[in-house]
Amino acid sequence: MCDLLRINTDRGVMIHDQESRFSIKGKPIYHFVGTSTFSEYTVVHAGCVAKINPEAPLDKVCVLSCGICTGLQHHPRLVYFLTFCLLVILFSDNSVSFSCFVGLGATINVAKPKPGSSVSVFGLGAVGLASAEGARISGASRIIGVDLVSSRFELAKKFGVNEFVNPKDHNKPVQEVIAEMTNGGVDRSVECTGSIQAMISAFERVHDGWGVAVLVGVPSKDDAFKSHPTNFLNERTLKGTFYGNYKPQTDLPNVVEKYMRGELELEKFITHTVPFSEINKAFDLMLKGESIRCIIRMDE
């Protein structure tokens, strides 16, 4: 993780002079997460901009932001698109102000499953589905989806998930269920819920000797991760990631090229498109868990 992100994004100021570029009636308005992407016009640090293929369709690659984005505005010189917490901006020279693409990177860059390996994904929301897509791209042969909502399982098949576990359907811990399914545990596990119990289950059910668990979800501040030391002594590995271990300025263009070559199927993530006048519908879909990513067109 770069110092630009660690030091400056939470302060809401520019890196050079620690000042904001925005104000209303003399009162400073601070930059949001380094990009201020809820605003119609913005100023960003050069480190927050990456250049992508000018042929890439912006209403598709917009989802390659944090988590893998939610809205799009087409303007003669600007295109905006919304991540789960940010807007990201594409300029007329096809530079993109980015957040990142957590799910893919958590699997491809951090878990690093080998072809033919087994991967469990805890949580089948947008980030979890992106993690499953990363496992599919990596050549994993068994991709086990774990979620409390069984209705998500059918959709997850489109992202490479070929086995499903709903913890509510069993009278034993889910890590025991997965151990029985996989003869001792999976090779890789990615946790995408933020639930401490899911994190523990993901770690305790990777195979001893070589298993790797990656934590992606963000827990509550008072949560504590607890697992018996034997789980570490048996040579399981626990990792965490923020933004999928991508370096967006150089890696985002490469991921766009994966899409352009047909290796990454972004269309699967886009379940709805609405005009800006119906933005509340997009939020309702998100809160009800009925959408993965919803494109918001500001020009309609």
Q: What is the pLDDT of residue 280?
A: 92
State which residues form the domain around 75. 3-101+247-297
Lowest mean pLDDT segment, chosen from 30-39, 69-78, 172-181, 278-287? 69-78
Summarize the confidence of residues 210-223 as an average pLDDT.
92
**Separation of alpha carbons 267 and 272, rounded Å:** 11
Domain count, the chain: 2
pLDDT at 13: 79
Q: Are residues 279 and 178 in the same domain?
A: no
Where among 245, 260, 289 does a domain terminate?
245
* 223 and 146 share one domain: yes
pLDDT tens by residue, 140-164: 999 999 999 898 999 999 999 999 9
97 in the same domain as 109: no
pLDDT in tens, 29-66: 887 777 776 666 778 777 777 788 989 988 888 877 66
Same domain, 202 and 177: yes
Q: Do 90 and 131 lie in a common domain?
A: no
Task: Output 236 or 288, whichever has higher pLDDT.
Answer: 236
pLDDT at 184 over 60: yes
Are residue 208 and residue 73 in the same domain, yes or no? no
Top pLDDT among 129 and 35 is at 129
Name the pLDDT band for 218 (thresholds 50, 70, 90): confident
The answer to whether residue 73 scores a pLDDT higher than 80 is no
pLDDT digits 0-9 by tens, 79-125: 333 333 333 333 333 433 333 367 888 999 999 999 999 999 999 98
Please tell me whether residues 86 and 8 are part of one structural domain. Answer: yes
- Which token pair is 51? 């250049």
| pLDDT score, position 94 | 40
Is 136 found in the same domain as 263?
Answer: no
Q: 67 with 94: CB under 8 angstroms?
A: no
Its pTM stands at 0.78
Task: Identify the domain boundary among 206, 229, 245.
Answer: 245
What's the CATH code of the domain at 289? 3.90.180.10
Highest mean pLDDT among 9-23, 30-44, 187-201, 269-283: 187-201
**Pair (274, 152) in one structural domain:** no
Cα separation, 178 vs 21, whole angstroms? 52
Chosen domain end from 207, 227, 245: 245
Q: Which of 128-142, 249-263, 267-281: highest mean pLDDT?
A: 128-142
The pLDDT value recorded for residue 4 is 58
Q: Is the domain of 155 the same as that of 231? A: yes
Same domain, 205 and 272: no
12 is written with which tokens? 């809401």
Closest CA to 269 of 144, 96, 151, 134: 134
Alpha-carbon gap, residue 265 to 83, rounded angstroms: 18
What is the C-alpha separation between 209 and 236, in angstroms, rounded?
6
Q: Pairing mode, if any, of strands 237-240 and 78-82?
A: unpaired
How confident is the model at residue 88, as a pLDDT? 34
Domain check: are 285 and 152 in the same one?
no
Residue 112: give its domain's CATH number. Answer: 3.40.50.720
Helices and strands (H, E) in the chain, number of each type = 10, 15
